[in-house]
Chain A
């Protein structure tokens, strides 16, 4: 798993502890192949994920990242690709 994936998992656990994401995510296994629905992430949770990804990558990430990618791992990969400097 990438550093970014580990970082986003850490942020998910923090947001779960704060009550903004489902409480079970504080300790549950979070795998790249899991969908947001499987994680129990609703529209508020998507906002939390989006802002966390933007903060971690210092990059604007459009909402489409969540519609185009089906799994958490794919969303993170897409965010990482957007953050990568273009050659």
Chain B
């Protein structure tokens, strides 16, 4: 079983990306041997109301059982608790928020309230550090990257919330992990899509220092080639148990046993 916790469907506003349709993402999953993907409605990230993509996403997940929906929740909108409740009712393994794209403080009161509500509901909260390399972003793509300080603040803000942080690199992971108590750090999962392999061996180092239990397979597809995450794992000398943990069982722990 291989689970991609970081996938997207739908078009990207800042450049043409092939393979964003559900069928194309499923084909890419077949190509690299992924059994299921936690998917975000990509256009919604950039909408004033990102939850307007949720109904389509939930419908998609009902149609294609290999997709698990990660609906968006914008805690700056008055009825955000309804969106969270709907996601929970639908068995979503996580909800996502992209505060810097929504124009709200990533560690402010609204995001803290969302973290607390996710903790209470038992739904993981997914946060992306970035979508593209900062050096190549479109001239009109100005939203700041998620700061590590915000992740530290959110994990401290509620002792039940579980966070999935995607697209983080080694310094970001280390700053948050070693800037948190062991109990806090044990509620954060990191996807591997932005962590370097050899010869710098950042992922190998993090698996030794932070621990295998904290990492999950994420690709960032189709914005990124899903082959990258698989290649990264193939370059490690992982035991079958550790590989299975990264590819699936850690994601199940992150999801808290939530199923559709």
Task: State whether these chains interact.
Answer: no
Instruction: Show the binding face of B for A, using Cβ within 8 Å.
Output: none
- Which A residues lie at the B interface, using CB under 8 A? none
